[in-house]
Amino acid sequence: MGKLLTFILLGLVFASTAESRDYKSCKQKIPYSAINCRKHIAYLTDFGGKGDGIASNTAAFKAAFHNLSKVASDGGALLVVPPGKWLTGSFNLASHFTLYIHQKAVILASQDELDYPLIDPLPPYGSGREAPGKRFSSLIVGTNLTDVVVTGGNGTIDGQGEIWWKKFKAKKLKHTRPYLIEILHSTHVQISDLTLTNSPSWHVHPTYCTNVIIERLTILAPIDVPNTDGINPDSCTDTRIRDSYVISGDDCIAVKSGWDQYGIKYGKPTQRLSIRDFTCISPDSAVIALGSEMSGGIRDVRAEGIRALNSQSGVRIKTGVGRGGYVKDIYVRDVEMDTMKYVFWMNGDYGSHPDPGFDPKALPEITNINYRDMVAKNVKIVGALSGIKGDAFTNICMSNVTVAEEEKDGGSLFGKEKETKLPWNCTDVRGVSSKVTPKACPELVEKEVDCAFPTDTLAIDKVKLNQCFVNV
C-alpha cells in the first residue's frame, strides 16, 4: 500500500513536471481585450519575418496582410508579432483584422526615407503641414477600414525618430514627417495595450474616423524634440481615450479638424470625444490642446480624471483670425496638476497659417467652455486668457478650482501655501467663476454656480471590450 502510494505520488510528480515543461516549450494562451476576437491566427514568421533587428520585415508585413485580408469575411484574422526586434518600413492594415504585438516584441521603424512612400497631403491641411506637396506615409497605416485593432501585451513600437528630428531641425526634409500610426476614413478602430516611443512626429493620428477606442497606451518621447504629440484625434466622431500615459516634446493630446480655408471647406469636426484617466508630462506644451487647427470645428469634448506633472499648460485653446470653425461645449473636471507654467491658457492670436490665402473675416466661435473641480500646485501663471478683439470667447465657466503658488526652494512655509501673487490676464473673454482661488479675473464674473458636465454617457463610453485569447 505504502509502495503503491509512493509510486502514484512519484508518477504524479513526473507527469506534472513533464506537463509544465511541455507547456513552456509550447505557446501560451494569453488573454487580451478587443472590440472583436478573430477566427484565424498567423505569425509574422509564417511570412518570412525575421526578428533580428537588422533584416527588413516590410515585405513580410505586406505578404501577411495580403494573405490575411482574404479571411476578412470569415471571422477575420490576427497577426502576432512574436518576441524579437522587427525592423520595418511603412505598411498597411486590413479590415476585420488585429495586429498583436507580443510583450517582448519591438517593431522598429526604418530610418530610411525610401521606406515611407510619398502620398498626397490631407485636404484640410492645404498643400501640407511641414512642407508643400507630398508627405511621407506613416509607419502603420489604415485607410478606409472597418473593425481594425492594433494591440498587444504592452509590446513596443519604436519610431527611432532621432534622424527625423535632426533633419527637421536642420530644415533638410522636403516633405512632412511620417506619424507612427495613422488611421484614415475608418470605423471601429482600437489602439490599445502598447508602448509607443520616439515617433518621427505625432504618435497616434486617427483622422476622419468614427468609433475609435484608444486605451492603455504608454507614449514616451524625449521632452526636447519637435512635434512628438501623443494622440491627435483629427475630424473624428465618437472617440474615447482612457488609462493612458504620455511624456512628450509637444502636446500630450491635440484635438484637431483642419487648417484655415482648407479646413473650413472640408468642414469635418471632431466631436463626441471622451478622455478619462489620462496622465501627461509635457514641459513645453499642453496636456490637452484644442487646435490650433480647428477650422472644421471641435465640439462636445469631455475630459475627466486628468493628472499633469511638469507641463506648460492644462486644457488649452489655440486659434486665430482666419481659422473659422468653432470650439464649443467643452467640459473638464477632476484635474490634478503639479508644476505648471499655466493652469488656464487660451490664445486667440495663435497665428500659423498654411498660406497667405486665409480669410481674415473667418473668425472662430469659442463658447461654452467649462472647467470644474481642479487643484494645481507649484504654478507660475493661473490664467492667461486672450480672445479675439471683436470676437470674444464667451460662456467660459470655472468652478471649484484651487491653485497654489510656485514653490520657492524648500517648499512653502510651515506647510501653508501662500496665495499666488501672479495675476490673471484676461482680454476679450466673458464668463463666470465660482470658488476659484486665487480669485479669477473680473471678466469671469463671480456667481454661485457649478459649471456644467454632461450627465448622459456617450455611446463610445458604453462599448465593452470582449475578452479574447491569443497563443503567443
Ligand X SMILES: *[C@@H]1O[C@H](CO)[C@@H](O)[C@H](O)[C@H]1NC(C)=O
Q: Is 250 a catalytic residue?
A: yes
**Options 250, 251, 260, 300, the catalytic residue:** 250
Q: What is the dihedral of CA 451, 452, 455, 461, to 10 degrees?
A: -100
**Residue 47, interface with ligand X (CB under 6 A)?**
yes
- What's the min distance (Å) between Cβ of 103 and ligand X? 8
Question: Mask 394-433, x = binds ligand X (CB under 6 A)?
Answer: ------x------------------------x-x------
Stretch that binds ligand X, among 18-26, 263-271, 369-377, 388-396 (CB under 6 A): 369-377
User: Are 27 and 12 within 8 A, CB to CB?
Assistant: no
**Residue 111, interface with ligand X (CB under 6 A)?**
no
- What's the min distance (Å) between Cβ of 375 and ligand X? 4
Q: Which of 251, 373, 405, 443 binds ligand X (CB under 6 A)?
A: 373
Question: Which cell numbers hold the place of 442?
Answer: 473680473
- What's the min distance (Å) between Cβ of 277 and ligand X? 12
Could you give the angle at the alpha carbon of 227 between the alpha carbons of 122 and 129, nearest 5°?
25
For residue 304, which of 455, 94, 115 has the smallest C-alpha distance? 455
**Residue 374, interface with ligand X (CB under 6 A)?**
yes
Nearer to ligand X, 185 or 430 (CB): 185
Stretch that binds ligand X, among 41-49, 81-89, 285-293, 414-422 (CB under 6 A): 41-49
**Residue 46, interface with ligand X (CB under 6 A)?**
yes
**Residue 307, interface with ligand X (CB under 6 A)?**
no
User: Are 215 and 252 within 8 A, CB to CB?
Assistant: no
Stretch that binds ligand X, among 42-50, 114-122, 130-138, 175-183 (CB under 6 A): 42-50
- What's the min distance (Å) between Cβ of 373 and ligand X? 4
Question: Mask 427-466, x = binds ligand X (CB under 6 A)?
Answer: x---------------------------------------
CA dihedral over 350, 356, 357, 360, signed as positive or negative: positive
User: Are 431 and 444 within 8 A, CB to CB?
Assistant: yes
Nearer to ligand X, 143 or 310 (CB): 143
User: Are 72 and 93 within 8 A, CB to CB?
Assistant: no
User: Are 275 and 248 within 8 A, CB to CB?
Assistant: no
**Residue 276, interface with ligand X (CB under 6 A)?**
no
- What's the min distance (Å) between Cβ of 266 and ligand X? 11
Which 164-223 residues touch ligand X, going by CB under 6 A? 185, 195, 216, 218
**Residue 310, interface with ligand X (CB under 6 A)?**
no
User: Are 169 and 162 within 8 A, CB to CB?
Assistant: no
Positions marked catalytic: 250
Residues that bind ligand X (CB under 6 A): 42, 46-47, 67, 70, 143-144, 154, 185, 195, 216, 218, 373-375, 386, 400, 425, 427
